Amino acid sequence: MAFFRSVSAFSRLRSRVGQQPSLANSVRWLQMQSSTNTDLYSEMKELVPEYQERVKKLKKDHANVDLGKTTLDMVLGGMRGMTALVWLGSAVDPDEGIRFRGMTIPECQKALPGAFPGGEPLPEAILWLLLTGKIPNKEQVDSLSQELRRRAKIPEYAYKAIDALPVSAHPMTQFSTGVMALQVESEFQKAYEGGVHKSRYWEPTYEDSLNLIARLPGIAAYIYRRIYKDGKIIPLDDTLDYGANYAHMLGFDDPEMLEFMRLYISIHSDHEGGNVSSHTAHLVGSSLSDPYLAFAAALNGLAGPLHGLANQEVLRWIRNVVKEFGTPNISTEQLSDYIHKTLNSGQVVPGYGHGVLRNTDPRYTCQREFALKHLPNDPLFQLVSKIKEVVPPILTKLGKVKSPWPNVDAHSGVLLNYYGLTEENYYTVLFGVARSIGVGPQLIWDRALGMPLERPKSVTLEKLEKLAGASS
Ligand SMILES: CC(=O)SCCNC(=O)CCNC(=O)[C@H](O)C(C)(C)COP(=O)(O)OP(=O)(O)OC[C@H]1O[C@@H](n2cnc3c(N)ncnc32)[C@H](O)[C@@H]1OP(=O)(O)O
Ligand SMILES: O=C([O-])CC(=O)C(=O)O
């Protein structure tokens, strides 16, 4: 009976997202549905042995399966296309974009609980999904919300560590410093020093990851208020969910902004394992550095302009366009001239191009849909829409850009700016808070599955030339 109820719920979901249920999808969805525990830790305790068994079997029976060859181009080309990592939470298809545990963004928007019926997926729901592979119900998500609030207390010395930096320090420098200060309370480090058996590494990693995720909004909001609002701190509200609380502590209480924050955090959480921030966390964690150390390293990678800092760069670039012409209402020719000016000065057009995607990022599309619903007449949103028409043909004409299409960063800034979060230097901190929700679960699984020290082989230039049969 329960089976048939679930199948019909699945059919309803799929017809709402405009797809027919296939048997394989039904089975996958039913597997995802069977989440029963109200607390996440108990859910994990059940799942860990099952996943360990799967990995053991793969290693035992399929160790020599060929996953593709390594070419010289890959070694010199930033390892693009090289399959080198296992990442449980999500995968990116070049054309279709991100799937969180197999689910596209529109599917997540339909299936995951929101703050109200039909609301955007709650970050807590994404966290549950990424960690367990199961769709949580509202009760489970509410219990996780409560758990994160319970874990959110920040030690005083973390604020003091941030205060030791000048207010003028970049928000990402302050953020990474704050995370390093939180490391003092690492449960993993304590357990390791206490001689914990390796089969139990995942348990203190779980504690650290959940504490880290819970405390980041408070640290991040402190930095915002310190830099931009004369240090007037707003405490956590014990009635609000994770995304809403972060917005509230920043100083924003407009329900539309709260809803945007939930969407923002959910879609920025994870983007498979190879991106700079996630990969960095995984690499650093592989030496058994605890989640704080691993995540601070991830943030330092996110702070680069080719990765997370691009969202800051996009709004700055858009503002410069407006400054140049004195209005956001410019012609296609004016915009085209400005894009060429950027390219001719040896700079990239921020928010465009991607290491994996070869189509418009679905995270761009869902933010556009949000903007069309809530701020269709905003002049900067209209400029962003125009940029999307003008940039791709110009980048395509260069003949070298693999993807001329917009990525996630091309859109977020104008939405934040519309809701009053105008300080673009802060934007990557928001991204960082969100990324913890993807990185934390993988660190837990890395330790649960006994993932080894990561140590790929490098070659000298001479050896590469020799291997290629080229003369030096
Ligand atoms: C959350 C995220 O991290 S999403 C990405 C955010 N970053 C940005 O938006 C910055 C702008 N984009 C870029 O710099 C790139 O597209 C990256 C870094 C995202 C991807 O880099 P790659 O995988 O190396 O891209 P690709 O293979 O297409 O690069 C080939 C050439 O096109 C150039 N190119 C790629 N994108 C752009 C762009 N948006 N503007 C101008 N040139 C570009 C590259 O700089 C490179 O030039 P080069 O050969 O002279 O060095
Ligand atoms: O996947 C990447 O390389 C970059 C990206 O979009 C992300 O990390 O969100």
Whose CA is closest to 155, among 176, 180, 174, 173? 180
What is the pLDDT at residue 23? 42
**Closest listed ligand to the CA of 268:** 2
What is the pLDDT at residue 85? 97
**Closest listed ligand to the CA of 308:** 1
Q: How far apart are CA 256 and CA 114, in angstroms?
A: 13
Is residue 162 a part of any domain in this protein? yes
Place of tokens 């519309």: 418
For ligand 2, mutation pick of 311, 356, 439 (most atoms within 8 Å of CB): 356
What is the pLDDT at residue 150? 98
Q: If you measure from the C-alpha of residue 343 to the centroid of ligand 1, how many angstroms do you get, rounded to a whole number? A: 12
Residue 117: HSE in the Cβ half-sphere, 13 Å Cα cutoff:
0
Q: Is 354 a catalytic residue?
A: yes
428 CB less than 6 Å from ligand 2?
no
- For every residue of 303-351, DSSP letters joined together read TSTTTTTHHHHHHHHHHHHHHHHTSS---HHHHHHHHHHHHHTT---TT
- Given a contact cutoff of 8 angstroms between Cβ atoms, the answer to whether 468 and 241 are in contact is no
Catalytic residue among 241, 409, 411, 446: 409
356 CB less than 6 Å from ligand 2?
yes
SS3 for 100? strand
Q: How many helices (H) and strands (E) does the chain have?
A: 22, 2
Q: How far apart are CA 44 and CA 197, in angstroms?
A: 18
Please count the structural domains in the chain. Answer: 1
Catalytic residue among 248, 271, 279, 354: 354
Is residue 55 a part of any domain in this protein? no
What is the pLDDT at residue 38? 84
**First-to-final CA distance of the chain:** 71
Is residue 312 a part of any domain in this protein? yes
For the CA of 402, the nearest atom of ligand 1: 28
Q: What are 356's two structure tokens?
A: 């994996």
Q: If you measure from the C-alpha of residue 402 to the centroid of ligand 2, how many angstroms do you get, rounded to a whole number? A: 15
Q: What is the pLDDT of residues 42-76, one digit of tens each?
A: 999 999 999 999 999 999 999 999 999 999 999 99
Is residue 67 a part of any domain in this protein? no
Question: Whole-model pTM?
Answer: 0.94
Q: If you measure from the C-alpha of residue 352 to the centroid of ligand 1, how many angstroms do you get, rounded to a whole number? A: 7
Low-confidence residues in the chain, pLDDT < 70: 1-35, 472
What is the pLDDT at residue 36? 73
Q: How far apart are CA 438 and CA 205, in angstroms?
A: 14
What is the pLDDT at residue 37? 82
408 CB less than 6 Å from ligand 1?
yes
Range of the domain at 472: 151-255+280-472
Catalytic residue among 279, 307, 361, 446: 307
Is residue 403 a part of any domain in this protein? yes
CATH of the domain at 175: 1.10.230.10
Q: Is 409 a catalytic residue?
A: yes
189 CB less than 6 Å from ligand 2?
no
Is residue 58 a part of any domain in this protein? no
Whose CA is closest to 415, among 199, 196, 120? 120
409 CB less than 6 Å from ligand 1?
yes
Q: What are 319's two structure tokens?
A: 């503002």
Is residue 105 a part of any domain in this protein? no
Is residue 82 a part of any domain in this protein? no
